[in-house]
Structure 1
Amino acid sequence: MSTGRTSPEKCGLYIVFSCLRVPQLVCIISAFFLVLDMGIRWGDISSWIMFSWCFCIIGTLIIVILELYRFPTDFPFCWYNFSITYACYAALICLSASIFYPITYIKFLPYDATRNRAIAATVFSCIACVVYVMEVACVWECYKLKEIPCFVHTMPGLLKVLETFVACVIFAFLSNTSLYIDQPALEWCVAVYSICFILAAVAMLMDREEWENRLPISFPVFHLGLNLLSILLHFTALVLWLLYQFDEKYGGQPQQSSDVNCIDRTTHGMCAWEQRLAVAVLTAANLLTYMADLGYWAHQVSVGTGGQPTDS
């Protein structure tokens, strides 16, 4: 494909993506400052939500600045992978913030101007999520026929993004160390989340042709082994977390009423029992994601695919 043919096309695409990033920035900044100006004491989850919005603001600004300095033109492959991966994570971040903020804070606010500001912040976060999804869809369609490989544009790539993101959300809940500290079984669960996150990140970073050729085994078999290990680890974590958090025989609290903080709401946010439940649900969700990932690579191995995964 000649330079004269692609240059105007790329220029037009960058203009389209820049137009999408204007509402992204407006919505995220609006949500951030609406909550910042409310003057409410933040808990662990609220602080994580504020950090997430701040991360999206900084990340989007960096992308806009780099595009102004023609970085995508000089490093098209690096930029292509970075921008689409960031957009996927930003969409998931805004989606999770739009879910957790209402259920952990808005429902406990009085019906006044503060509640209206919190609702407005949630709406802005939802809009930002939609715009980030639009960016991912536009990139997907515009580059679908281009000869630029991108791991995120494949089914296992999207699953890896989801796996690492869910792990980060779990870490946000685990910032409350009282959920697991001084309990070896639960500390093992935390170790599992960390190990699987690192393995998923390594799998994404190693998706390069030069790394693939250095592996002593085929690429699908490598991913198959990683996913199988992650599934086994997540299964042990899910069983231990449920037993030691919700079974009275192991010192757990089977009902929400067992947690005094859940009854006497003196502060906004999620009580310890709700945080335990959230970690259990997210662990189960990530286990299912790893199983889907394992199924994909098992199919690749069975049909004898030796190279990079095909787009799905």
Structure 2
Amino acid sequence: MSDDKSKTSELSRRGFIKVGAAALTAANMPMFFMKDAWAAKDFRNNPGNAGTVKFGFNVPQTGAYADEGADELRAYKLAVKHINGEGDGGMLNTMKPLTLKGNGILGKKLEYVTGDTQTKSDAARASAKRMIEKDGVVMITGGSSSGVAVAVQGLCQEMGVVFMAGLTHSNDTTGKDKRRYGFRHFFNAYMSGAALGPVLKQEMGTDRKAYHLTADYTWGWTQEESIKNTTEALGWKTTAAVRTPVGAGDFSQYITPVLNSGADVLILNHYGKDMINSLTQAVQFGLRDKQVNGKNFEIVVPLFSRLMAQGAGENIKGILGTTNWNWSLQD
């Protein structure tokens, strides 16, 4: 009798171990695409047997970063053509090995809807929410403003939809404000600072005084922090760091104090039209023609794009900064 009880006890123990292990495995499985009432085998806006699947392209079509938004949107539309196999295949014919088959996504034709973030976080969230609830998108992409990217990424996390950040340079996007459903490909402010350090040392030396004008939101803050960490490690001193509103347009009131600050370098932590305007106005104020502390006055733009360089025209020549990879750049 005692042997039977012993066997039963052992079987129960083994059974418990098996059941417990299964429960533990299930508990630790990634709940990908799950949100609130959505079943474990389903995900938000699952197209099911439909022949199409939909993405949301949420970009600034108005506001200070509208030029970057228009560029993003052109690229997204071209990507849809590649994925759907429209035309002659274009770039697809040059890519080997190739995962894309030109038959959509898992055989479903890709469709898309667009939204205007207005370079404002609240407007971007409202646009993304409409895409998810009304249009039934399974993925949202966009950005240009890191504040927008962080806001939309948080919404997508709440609603169980993937967010693929198109353009976001703040350290916080995948740092302090990271979310499980959020992904980025763009380099961050820390990388810009690290890349610029050796170049600034070579071109400007280790005895400099820097004056920062900084866009007053998450990207500007982390860009300023990253560049300060780099320059101060070189031996530079930070004379002042002044926050400026996004979309200010006229930066005269912020540039005037630089003239008598004792700084010999102006660092513009601005982007989009704001960078074009602040750089143009700094040049008009004669900063690049000045000599301070026995040195030629310099301007640094930690992050700029091809569009910003075009907008700034002659004023961008000789300005050090970082940019995303571009096939036309030799350096």
What is the TM-score normalised by the length of structure 2?
0.25
Higher strand share: 2
What is the TM-score normalised by the length of structure 1?
0.26
Larger radius of gyration: 2
Higher helix share: 1
